Amino acid sequence: MIHDLESVAGRDVVLGLSGGVDSAVAALMLRQAGARVQALHMTNWEDDDVYCTAAEDLQDARRVCDRLDIPLHHVNFSAEYRDRVFEYFLDEYRAGRTPNPDVLCNREIKFGVFREYAKRLGGERLATGHYARIATIDGKPALLKGKDAGKDQSYFLHAVAADALAETVFPLGNLDKSEVRRIARDYGLEVYDKKDSTGICFIGERPFREFLSAYLPAQPGTILGVDGTELGSHSGLMYYTLGQRQGLGIGGRNDAGGEPWYVVGKDIDNNVLLVDQGETEALMSQALVATDPHWIGGVPSGLEEGLRLMTKIRYRQSDQPCTVKRAETGIRVEFDAPQRAVTPGQFAVFYAGQQCLGGAVIHKTESRSAIMRAPEGAGIAAAR
């Protein structure tokens, strides 16, 4: 059974209202479905700089609430965000991994402290403008992909607790983004053409290296090719991610061909950035090991023997067939086809058809390439 808008009629619903078009249309749809709606706008980042849009977003949220005659509450969760999300974000970069703070932000803030606050406001249901759906399957809450495959956000929601999902409704789950903008325009919501938010969750889009350097000082080191040749220097391993092409500063070498260079690994112990040219096998992985798995409906049966599922190792990736099996340190995922730039710190998220079963943090990969024969002292085998 899908949790649709009919389930909110006559209920008190607290909606997370960002000031963007998605949550604005979610508010409209809740009102039209007969819910008693209150809007809650969160401020989770307080730096006053040219990249921060918090004040503008709050004003947009107020205009939406005025138009829909919905009460608006404003709450500041910046301390909780720093403690529960941003510190993790920095710790992961210090360790040489590439985190995805949006996943943690959903679990800890939007469906954590926000949910608790919504209950204090009398909310029986929580709502957001996410493109996803919730159903009840075998008596348990289940997370489903949104109808709009290009906007589906189940990847970012896979770590949300089942009991939180049971109390949530996603009004946009059965809509395409184009429909959402049309509804907003037709109803006279001024944010109908507002640009989608991008960048780091609640922090926004800004020059990433400049932003990160304010918290993690530069730690220069050596750039090595996969054959151990010294090619240049880097400014800090935390500024690079697997598969990265731009910003390496080693192009146009007389002793190399014209193909682009890519980051293929990090040797944390020796502060070495590892690179290779072209569509290198060094970026291809046949399997990965992931830790801290979260299964929305409980551990699926068949995991001990090996379970056939689909997975995404990054947002917007098409589903990839794989076999998932329990491992000593978590779970092992073996792909049917090798995957490019599988990145420690990111999430592998698992699907059975339209249902998102959960996910886990990518810890390390198993490469099909001879790159794993590390040059003396380079530590490549430990870098992936």
The set of long-range contacts for 230-234, using a CB threshold of 8 Å and a minimum separation of 24, is 231/261, 231/275, 234/273
Task: Please tell me the distance from the alpha carbon of residue 91 to that of residue 99, in angstroms, as a whole number.
Answer: 9
Of the residues 65, 201, 322, 356, which is catalytic?
201
Q: Give the contacts of 214 (CB within 8 A, at least 6 positions apart).
A: none
Sign of the dihedral defined by the CA atoms of residues 77, 202, 74, 126, in that order? negative
- Confirm if 375 and 228 have CB atoms less than 8 A apart: yes
- Tell me, yes or no, if 201 is annotated catalytic: yes
Picking from 153, 149, 151, 143, the residue whose alpha carbon sits closest to that of residue 181 is: 151
Task: Please tell me the distance from the alpha carbon of residue 310 to that of residue 56, in angstroms, as a whole number.
Answer: 40
Q: Helix H segments across 158-302? A: 162-165, 177-187, 208-213
What's the Rg (C-alpha) of the chain? Answer: 22
The helix (run of H) or strand (run of E) holding residue 55 is helix 54-68
The helix (run of H) or strand (run of E) holding residue 256 is none
Q: CA-CA-CA-CA torsion for 87, 90, 96, 100, nearest 10 degrees?
A: 80
DSSP structural state of residue 357: E
Of the residues 52, 65, 105, 322, which is catalytic?
105
- Tell me, yes or no, if 65 is annotated catalytic: no
Show the tokens assigned to 5: 């808008």
Q: Which residues are catalytic?
A: 105, 201
